[in-house]
Structures are given as structure tokens and as C-alpha cells.
Structure 1
Amino acid sequence: MSEVGAALRVARTAAGISLQGMAARTNYSKPYLGQLETGARVVRAEHVAAYEKALHTPLDHLRARLTVESVTESDDLPGQLSSLLWPPAAQPGGNQAGFAATELAAAEQLAIWARNRQWGDGQAPRRAVTAWLSSNLPRLQQLSDAHRHGRALRAGAELADIAAAMSWDVEDITAAGRYSVAAARLAHAAGDTVLTAAILAESTWQLLDSGRPAEGLEVAQLAQYLSRRTATPLLRVVLAELEAYAHGILGEQAAFRRAIVIAAECRGEATATGVGDDAADRSLTAATIAMLLGPRRDWPGPGQQSRLLGASCRRLRATRPDLARIAFGEVRPPLPEKFLSPAMAAISAARLQLMLGEPEHAVEQIGPALSPAGRPTGRTAARLSDFLHESAEFAAVPAVGQVRATIRELVAHP
């Protein structure tokens, strides 16, 4: 496939177009196109089509040599998401009959029911949503007419997004990525750029939390481009913050600070307008909670979270405390308790302080979670275990050592 990538490069340079210019014409990022042309990524039919459109030249000789490889959605998440910018096409022989009104009403009710229960410890919402998707995703993927089938596509997108968030919460990372891709594709097919970008925000966090910051940055920037004319203030805040996190992990201090400034500028407007009740806002709320509750157990290793993003955050706190207060949640209204219990809010705040390299503040924050009415179970127990895992680098601090001993006693099996 590197031979085809090299041929794409020849076609581009022959037309006198730089890699940056091709990025502007194709809506793929410059690094992504560079990887295609050098063979670091597999070239697929949609990539050749993008070059044909940008160059206004048929590349049939490349199509003849192009072997379309089957790439799973979890294996090449950013590449799969980038192709969303191309108009979706119905599968050959697909059934465009769509969904009956009663089916759509039932799907929308299922989404509302599952959203209200997805942060509980029960598995019923996840089972119900994934069962619906298993039965109906193939039907949804046959629909391409946003005008006729937009309602069905949006309902399917929201249910897939819910499945992604719930899968992430139980640390089924592969399923979370697969459902995120499906959700973004359906939202894009529906022509809903705001919902698509909101879903991509969750995909970005999955990539950042899985140790793939460069790819996470690519997806965040894709979401920003896609929603550049339609983004709500809340969406702009979330995407700017995610971009900042990616730059911070990558050690790109200037870019990190620029993104934080943009997020701060948007936050006042977002606070004034509040959170709505449409699918995009529900998705963004889920993404925000996933950032607070999601797993960080495998990367970058036990007790190493503050070594990466924390360095950028601490520098910002030292140089721009005003921005730091906004960036690190010190001036944000709390999430409703139905989404985040007091114990979970305490653990999340403490984990953030660990990320910032502030173990003493982490001990102060986690206090309310260490005095439960009974032994913690479910997500609370899991997130206390996360704190235990993430506080390893500060175990020598006496107060942290005491908290770690308490957590071991609380989450130990009877």
C-alpha cells in the first residue's frame, strides 16, 4: 500500500499543491495525509477519492492497484472518523424503507430511559441499548437520505453514543471505540454536525486516556472543523479543553496555553446559556462525566498520570492562575447529583489533584468518599481503587499513605 501512497504524493506535487494545501482541500489533517503518502497508514478507496476531488483529476490507475483492506473500527479509529466528512452512501441493494413511527418513538424513549440510568451501577441499561443496536444497526447503516431518515439516524446515533459511554465506564475499551465510531457515522449521516462533533469529543477522550494523544488531537481538530459554523458554546469549550489536554500530554506548551485561553473565553458564554436538553448536550454531559470517571489504569502506568499532563497543568497554574481556576474546574458549577454522587464527585476531584501533582489537596478532596454509610460497591469501589492506583507515586507522603490504607480496608473483600 506504500506504493499507492507514493503515487498520491506524486500526483499532489505534480499539481503544485503542498501537503498543507491538500489538507485544506480534503479535510484530512496534514499529519494524517503525510502518513498516507509514506505508507504509515493504509490507503483506502475514500482517500483516493479525496485526492481526485482535490486535484480535479481521475486517478483510475491507482484504483486499479488499490486493494481495499478491511480495517476494524477499533484498529484505526482516527482514520475511520476522518472519513465521516465524506457524504455517506447507502449500501448496494440497501433497504431505504426506514423505521415505522412507533419504532422511532420506542427508540427515543429507550434513549431517554438509558440516559437517566447509565451512571448507575446496574447493567440493565447497557444490555437494553446494546440489544437494540445489535438488532437495528444493520438497518440504520442502510439509510442515507437525511431528509427522510434523519430522526431514525439521530436516535440510533444517541443510542450508540450511550452504549459507548457505558462500555467505557465498565472498561470495555474495544466496544467503546466501536460504538463511538458507529454513533459518529450515524450522526453525520443525519446531517447533525453538532451531535457528530459532540460524539467525537468522547472519542477524543478515549484516545487521550488510552495513550494516543496525537490521534486524540487529530480527532478533536476534526470535530472543531466539522462544527465550526454550528458549534454551541458548550461544545466549543469541551473541544478546546480536549485539544489543550492533547497538547499538554504531548508537551506542546504554547499550543496548550492557546487552547486553554480559547476554552476560557467560551466558558462564560456557555455558563450563561446553560446546558440544553438536546442529544448533543446530553452527549457532552456524558463525555464530561466519562472524563471524570473513566479508566486510567493501563496508561501511562501506575502512579504516572501527573508526569505527563500534570506538568503542563502545573506550569499553567504557576504562570496563569486565573486560567488554571477555569481549566481545572474551580469556577464551574457542579454536575447534577443524579449524574455524580457526592462520593463520586469527591473521588473525581481528588483524582484531578493527583493529576496536578498536588497530593495534599487530593487527600483533602477525597475525605467525603471515605465515610460511606456502608462498604462502597460498584463504581464507587472501582474509582476508589483507581485513586489507590494513581496515588502510588505519592505513597511516601504521610497523609496519602493513610488514605491508601483506608481505601484498602474499604474495598477489601469481606
Structure 2
Amino acid sequence: MSEVGSALRVARTAAGISLQGMAARTNYSKPYLGQLETGARAVRAEHVAAYEAALATPLDHLRDRLIVESVSELDDLPSQLSSLLLPPVAHPRGDGATFTTTELAAAEQLAIWARGRQWGDGSVPRRAVVTWLGANTSRLQQLSASRGHQRALRTGAELADIAAVMSWDIEDITAARRFSVTAARLAHAAGDPVLTAAILTASTWQLLDSGRPAEGLEVAQLAQYLSRRTATPLLRVALAELEAYAHGILGDHAAFQRAIVVAAECRHEVAETVPGDSAADRSLTAATLGMLLGPRRDWPGPGQQSRLLGRSYRHLTVTRPDLAAVAFGDVPPPPESVPPEMIGISSARLQLMLGEPDHAAEQAGLALTRCDQRPTGRTAARLADFLHESTEFAEVAAVGEVRAAIRDLVTHR
């Protein structure tokens, strides 16, 4: 259990406030606060500030402990990495910006290590990557002014991309956007248009998920332009699908259909392509999983998820049922660290976006059969998200039954 999270719980209970009462006093849900207090989610400065405001009590002593925890938790890193990451070293301008071969090898190993653990509920991988970026981003920015050092810039780009996806996963949206921009700039400076475009796919979805579809469409089209000569089949289908989603959310049915046609054509190429293990491929996989496993709760409003893609999807099912069948294709096999119930919950949330409540209830019900009796971490958070997002379909019998079952799990833990 996080010491800071435990201290927040002590402060709350000392004030005689329940988790439900604290949720009513802050912008966070009851399950989310429970995860902060038990250590399932990392406690950040804004969480401490929310407790201070709700309790009308200063908690300055916890801010210092945030810094201590962020360093001490990195002791769990492989020993060969921790010596190079802790403490962060300030490097002078000029020649000091150049990375040694040993440093680059360690950074590449860190990227591989963090990618393999980024879907777990622990905070150590994120803290490790953010620590490295905090120590080395200024060096990378100095290197980006030249045309060399592609290896360092590409590695920095992948680490920033990992930080962005992990920040998005814990709903630190501001940090996710910042890291995404850094990642795209470093990849572009490295002269790698495919990696740049792959990173922009995550940025596009973040914009769509944040209620900014017009901006998301612009970013997707920029990525298509940057990679027009070098895009892999996997990248082309991802960008075509994102463009379709943006048009669908904006209500441009004709453009949505055109983009779906392109995506369907690209899918045939993907089926005949052997998946690679490049930084761009890893980024695309992370972006796809982030789209499914990450936030999607408050826009366009409580219980209005079917307004996202639902209207365009229903129009497509009437006019082009053949395309509707392939409009939302199979998800890449998830890492072993992603429990199968999470995929089911994510599929159910997507069905809500499409305005298919019966299918959503079916997927959510199947996921519930695979859940522990006391779900925690991301599983509990996403079940709570489904409960919130399915409000508009609460009168549908199947949805009502699933909502009741979820409510029992996530509100009586």
C-alpha cells in the first residue's frame, strides 16, 4: 500500500467522511479514490490538493512524501537500469548532450522493460520512464537540432510515447498530451516518419476521447501526410480507422463511409503482412490498447456515449451492411498482463459508443463472469466507467441487470 495513499485514508476517516462522501466533495469517483488510498493508483499532487480542499486541512507533509515514494519505488527496477536512472544527472550543454553507447543500451532496455509492464496496475514502470525523461529530455532537445543521433532520438521518442500511454491509462490527461507532443517531436527530429505517424495515432485518439474530434481529424490527416511514402499496412489501417472515427463523431456520414472503405482495403494488406517488432509497431499496439483500456467517460456527457459514433454507424449498417461488418475490426492480441475480463469490458464500452445496448450488455455480462468477487485497479475503474456510460440505456432490461451486478461489485468493496 502506498504510504501517501494510506495517509490520505487516515485524514479522511479522521474527519468522519466516507469514500462516497469524499467522492461527492471532489471530481473523482468512489472506486477511483479507493484505488488511490490502497495504492492501486499512484497518488499525485493534484490528488493531495483535492483532499486538502475537501477536508479544509493543509496536507503539506504529504507532498514531500510524494517525491520520496517516486524515488524509492524505483528500487524495484532491474539493478542494471537503476544505477543509470537514479539519481537523475544534470548534463551540461554542448558535448554533454551526446549519449554514450552504454546509456543508449540502458535506455533501450528500459523501453522494452516498460512496454512489457505498462498495462499492469503498478506505478513503477511509469515512474521509471518519467524519471528518465525528466533527466534526459533537455539533452534530447539539444540533439534534435542536428540531423544525427537518430538512435538516441528514436529511443527518447519511444520512452515519451510509453509515458504518454501510461499517463492516459491513469487518467492524467495533461501529462499524456505533453508526453505525446514530446514523443512526436523527437521521432520527427530522428527522421522517422513512420514512428512519428504511429505516435500521432495515440494523440488522435486522445483528442477524440477528450471531445475534440475536429482537432483529432487534423492530427490523423497530418500523420497520413507525413507517412504517405513509407507507411506500413498496419499504420495505414490504423490511420484510416481513426479518420473514420473522427468523421463519424463529427456526423459526416459520407466521409465516414469513404474512410471505412479505405480501412477495409488496408485490412486485406495487414492480413498478408507478418507483424513486425519495430518501435512504430509497438507504438501502434499500445495506441490501440490505450484506446480500448483508457478513459472514455465524461464526453459528450453522462450516459450519452451513443452520440459518439452511433449515428454514423447506424447509417452505415443501413446503406452498406457489408462495410458495417468490418468497420470495427479485431483487436491485436493483448499482452498477458491484460486480464481477459478487461477486453470484455472494453468491447462492451465500444458497443455503447455504437448505440448497441444489447450487445454491450452481453459483452459486459461475459466479462463479469471472469471478474474476481472484489475487482480492483483498472478492472474496477473500467466497470465503474461502464456503469456511468450506460446510463442512457438503463431502461433496457439486459443493461439494467448488468448495471445492478456491476454496482454491487464496485460500490460495496
TM-score by length of 2: 0.75
Q: Following TM superposition, by how much is the alpha carbon of 1:314 offset from its aligned partner in structure 2, in angstroms?
A: 1.4
Partner of 1:384: 383
Any idea what SS the aligned residue of 1:396 has?
Answer: coil
Asked whether the 8 Å contact 2:351–2:357 carries over to 1, the reply is yes
Q: After TM superposition, where is structure 1 displaced by more than 4 Å over at least 4 residues in a row?
A: 93-97
Partner of 1:344: 342
Where does 1:250-399 land on structure 2 (aligned, <5 Å)?
A: 250-329=250-329, 332=330, 334-338=332-336, 340-371=338-369, 372-399=371-398
Partner of 2:399: 400
Is residue 171 of structure 2 the alignment partner of residue 195 of structure 1?
A: no
State how many pairs are aligned. 321
Asked whether the 8 Å contact 2:288–2:331 carries over to 1, the reply is no
Per-residue CA deviation, residues 87-127 of structure 1 (Å, 9 max, x unaligned), is: xxxxxx75475100000000000000000000011111000
CA spacing shift, 1:333–1:170, aligned 2, 3 Å:
closer
1:284 & 1:333 partners in 2: Cα distance? 11
RMSD between aligned residues: 1.7
Q: Following TM superposition, by how much is the alpha carbon of 1:355 offset from its aligned partner in structure 2, in angstroms?
A: 1.2
Per-residue CA deviation, residues 258-286 of structure 1 (Å, 9 max, x unaligned), is: 11100000011112214211100000001
1:228 & 1:96 partners in 2: Cα distance? 36
Any idea what SS the aligned residue of 2:142 has?
Answer: coil
1:131 & 1:141 partners in 2: Cα distance? 16
Partner of 1:153: 153
Any idea what SS the aligned residue of 1:141 has?
Answer: helix
Where does 1:3-402 land on structure 2 (aligned, <5 Å)?
A: 94-95=94-95, 97-144=97-144, 148-329=148-329, 332=330, 334-338=332-336, 340-371=338-369, 372-402=371-401
Identity %: 75
Q: Following TM superposition, by how much is the alpha carbon of 1:196 offset from its aligned partner in structure 2, in angstroms?
A: 0.2
CA spacing shift, 1:302–1:180, aligned 2, 3 Å:
same
2:308 & 2:98 partners in 1: Cα distance? 47
Asked whether the 8 Å contact 1:342–1:368 carries over to 2, the reply is no
2:94 & 2:320 partners in 1: Cα distance? 55
Any idea what SS the aligned residue of 1:242 has?
Answer: helix
Q: Following TM superposition, by how much is the alpha carbon of 1:175 offset from its aligned partner in structure 2, in angstroms?
A: 0.2
Is residue 379 of structure 2 the alignment partner of residue 409 of structure 1?
A: no
Per-residue CA deviation, residues 348-368 of structure 1 (Å, 9 max, x unaligned), is: 111111111111111111123
1:141 & 1:413 partners in 2: Cα distance? 49
Per-residue CA deviation, residues 316-352 of structure 1 (Å, 9 max, x unaligned), is: 12222221221122xx265235264210111111111
| Paired letter, 2:355 | G
1:230 & 1:365 partners in 2: Cα distance? 37
Unaligned 5+ segments in structure 1 are: 1-92
Q: Following TM superposition, by how much is the alpha carbon of 1:412 offset from its aligned partner in structure 2, in angstroms?
A: 1.7
CA spacing shift, 1:281–1:315, aligned 2, 3 Å:
same
Asked whether the 8 Å contact 1:157–1:184 carries over to 2, the reply is yes
| Paired letter, 2:172 | D
Any idea what SS the aligned residue of 2:316 has?
Answer: helix
CA spacing shift, 1:96–1:193, aligned 2, 3 Å:
farther
Any idea what SS the aligned residue of 1:161 has?
Answer: helix
1:345 & 1:306 partners in 2: Cα distance? 19
Per-residue CA deviation, residues 170-227 of structure 1 (Å, 9 max, x unaligned), is: 0000000000000000000000000000001100001111111111111100000000
CA spacing shift, 1:399–1:225, aligned 2, 3 Å:
same
